[in-house]
Amino acid sequence: MHSLYDVPAPAKLNLFLHITGRRADGYHLLQSAFMLIDWQDSLHFERVSSSEISRQDLNPAAPVLPANDLCVQAAQALQTATGCAQGVRIAIDKHIPSQAGMGGGSSDAASTLIALNRLWNLHLTRAELECIGVRLGADVPFFIRGQNAWVEGIGEHITPFTGAQALPASTFWVIKPASGLNTQSIFTDPHLQRDTKRATIEDFAADHYGFGHNDLQPVAEALCPDVMQAKQWLNSFGMRATMTGSGSAVFAQTCKDVDLPSAPSDWQIKLCKNLKNHPLIQWISE
């Protein structure tokens, strides 16, 4: 019986993000295409003899995570949902930037649920893990589902891309400027456009990497000029840059290895490839 796992937690990019309306309870209705990329955190899990859950950070260059971060919350939620009395020691080698719109915290939570489901021999199905994950964050079920997908509603309707809809393998420059963005400040901004016409998966599949826009970007650029600067910097090399999620990271597809000059020293910049599936997709039964 395994007592130790090392697992990845990949980031995601929103290839576009349209706000199509708003529910009576204030939640925004969206359409988006979520794509997994190889910018990832590494999580280490060691089963312990007690029911205690602990966590430590391994990357001294990353911001210190709160004691009750999403990994700890995920482990606690799994204990509560199953009555499991086992514990775990979690260590995080954090590389995905925070306040970037790349889903780092949600991905860490998803990988925690997937890994502990296996480490603790709980045998929950994917749907059961998603029910636990959605209470931790709207993006967590996407990472548990483990496939690039069309996402609608408030994030709960997930349709994996198959056949002709599948995303072609490609490479992307991703930049996280020094400043971050608070998601709530964007969604509450009175200037946010909330009435983009609904699209279809077929519309998107006709031009995977050129379709649509990010309705959050104009507000984000007003709140965080670094977003505009990073976008313009990538655009200056002939690329089409856009913001992912609620930012502040921006990205652009590149068809060849482009040697970019030195970016501002406080930017995080990485050449990323998209993933066909989550690395842990085979760890869960349907």
* Catalytically active residues, by annotation: 12, 139
Spatial distance between the Cα atoms of 175 and 254, rounded to a whole number of angstroms: 13
Spatial distance between the Cα atoms of 170 and 209, rounded to a whole number of angstroms: 9
Spatial distance between the Cα atoms of 82 and 105, rounded to a whole number of angstroms: 23
Residues 6+ apart with CB under 8 A from 259: none
Partners of 147 in the β-ladder: 277
Spatial distance between the Cα atoms of 271 and 273, rounded to a whole number of angstroms: 7
